[in-house]
Structure 1
Amino acid sequence: MTFTRNSRLALIAFHTLLWSIYLLLPYAVSSAASGYKIGVMPGLFFTLAGLIHLVIFYVNAYVMYPRWLNQRFWWLYLLASVGLIMLSFRLKYQLLTSLFPEVLQASNAEKFVFGPSVAFFFLSIIYRNILNQLHAQRQLARQQSEQLRAELMFLRSQISPHFLFNVLTNLISLARQKSDKLESSLLMLSDLMRYILYDVNGRKITLAQEIDYLRSYIDLQKLRFGSDVPVTSEIEIDPGAYTSHIEPMLLIPLVENAFKHGVNVLENPEIHMYLFVKNGRLVFHVKNRFDVKSINLINENQGIGLANLRARLDLLYKNSHTLLITNTNNWFDVTLILDLL
């Protein structure tokens, strides 16, 4: 079974404490005048027998049971179990005849002397099964964690090429127009690339970083479209929320989608964005005008961005997010409500 170093040390300390209490019990509850007896058993015999029980417990729990209790060696486990218990009986009998012959004269002594060997053997079986169950649960949790990590890394790997494809398409448009905004756009793209390649690095980031990235993307789009596309953006955040952590590039697909579907086919496009964070809850609202003729395309194929966003939200914010998408009166409206973790 796999333990971390700290948990292994804690388990050893716990076992040591329990066995110490058990082995020293006669000296805590009895007196020297009675020979530290517990019932008919002298304290010294109780402790020596306890050491035999300790051997039974750990030999069965860590050697015999995990190695031999299977379809191939079950017969060996059965023989070893009987042999282990009989050996403990023999050792106890030798101790009694050599050092404590008076105990054998007591009525029902056999029950108290030899019965614990069987009891500790079955206790070790219970203990081993508990360990196996814990191991299976940890293995399952580890597999689920690795699967989640792999799915998340795959989804994150989709975001960057998708984003770059959209941005480069915008830059091509500026290049064709021989716009003097191209140089500024390239500098902004450089900053965004640095964010994607180095700042994110496969981990969650602060909300402040994500907002800076979002602003850079919006500014890049404004450079491309200028006054042709009215863009309204409003951000209102509790000061303490800037250090909250969030999945990187989680907000940008909503903005990308707005520019993708709300600009090219419209005579009078408009895009509005509102980001509010208060009491640990983030609300990001993006709305854009759309051409009613393209609504079927928007509904049926929302692109990699929104599909990727849904998948990441389900993985990382399963029960702590709401994604609302509506289209009414020529407005496409998306609202993301997220409880920051």
Structure 2
Amino acid sequence: MGSDERKPDVKPAKRTLLDRLIARTSHLPLLARITLHAINILLIAGIDVGIVHLTVGNDWPVLIPLVGLLVSHNMLVFYGTVYWALPNFFYKRRLGWLTLISLLTFWGAYLLNRTAIFNVEPTLPKATQYITRIQSILGPAGIFGCFISLRVFLWNFAFTLVAPLIPLGIKIMQGTMIFRQKQFDLKRNRLLLDRDNTLLKMNFLKAQVSPHFLFNTLNSIYSRMIDVDDQGADLVLRLAELMRYNLYEANVARVPLGREMDYLKSYVILEQARHGHQLAVSFNSSAVPTPTGCLIAPLILSAFVENAFKHGIKSAAGGAYILIDAHLEKNVLRFVVENSLNRGLTITTARRAGGVGLANVHKRLDIQYAGRYTVTHDITDDYYRVVLQLELDAVSEKAGSDPTLAV
């Protein structure tokens, strides 16, 4: 990338003290979270005990059931709100459902409280006086009293929500800030992604200039050489075809088998011209009809051929050769590549020379032809041979029905 290109100025946001506090409290260790839950439960239970004790004193037949009732539904209100209502309704802005659930929860708590008040039997004067007074308020109000009487509403609110209100408020504030921080980070990541996509598009468009320039140059060289050196002009033309195939035709999931064979033939001719008489090359694809009616993953065969040229010449002292044979029967392709080896090479060296360059093609075969191919390797003192048997796709199976062919 040139130094004259300016990236969009998307600076990382500075983390304030509040942001760091939120990050720390949202990723606490397990023991710390358990401790905070224990403190929260003790706080709510302590407030409930205090409220009931202030109203009924030490009248245990009344104190114990009321405290148990309050602690139970206060825990339900707190944890139900924090771990169910807020994530599913409040943060997703489903406020209508949240309002309905809140009203039903408030009404359910009122029915439980009302039932408890009418079923306890106080023994001490203070408790008797309080229970009698509350019963006189709740009785006329009926089962919907928390919605039609202000006194009943306030009593039920104080009796039900005072204890969990403080920790719930803290938790809502923390959760809201974390949610807003995540939303901010998401927007920022989208901006960074848009920036990267824009830069990729710019680089792609710029990259298109070089191949066009090179193709035009090769065409100019070809037109100048055609009358002077027919063989040289043919090599230039084949080089242009190889580049065009790599750049514009091999970016799909499947190509016609005949097109892949044409590519291999041009590649072999160029390599043979480069190495001259020090290399004997035999390329036989006569058993592959044209057209074949079969499709193959592009450049899946070329890796075997490139590997032979790369290591066969290097490892053979003299009289180097490469044999390539392609045979198609129905839709099963048998592709054989054999290259000479130096007699002085060990089996380990030969295996390493033949195998390193094939790692990627094995991965591609596993992904694209799982269960539909076999690869066998044969290594001797004189040669290295690889045999690929591959079940190909028919044109009628893929070309007209698979929309994923284009990448």
How high is the TM-score relative to the length of structure 2? 0.39
How high is the TM-score relative to the length of structure 1? 0.46
Larger Cα Rg: Structure 1 or Structure 2? 2
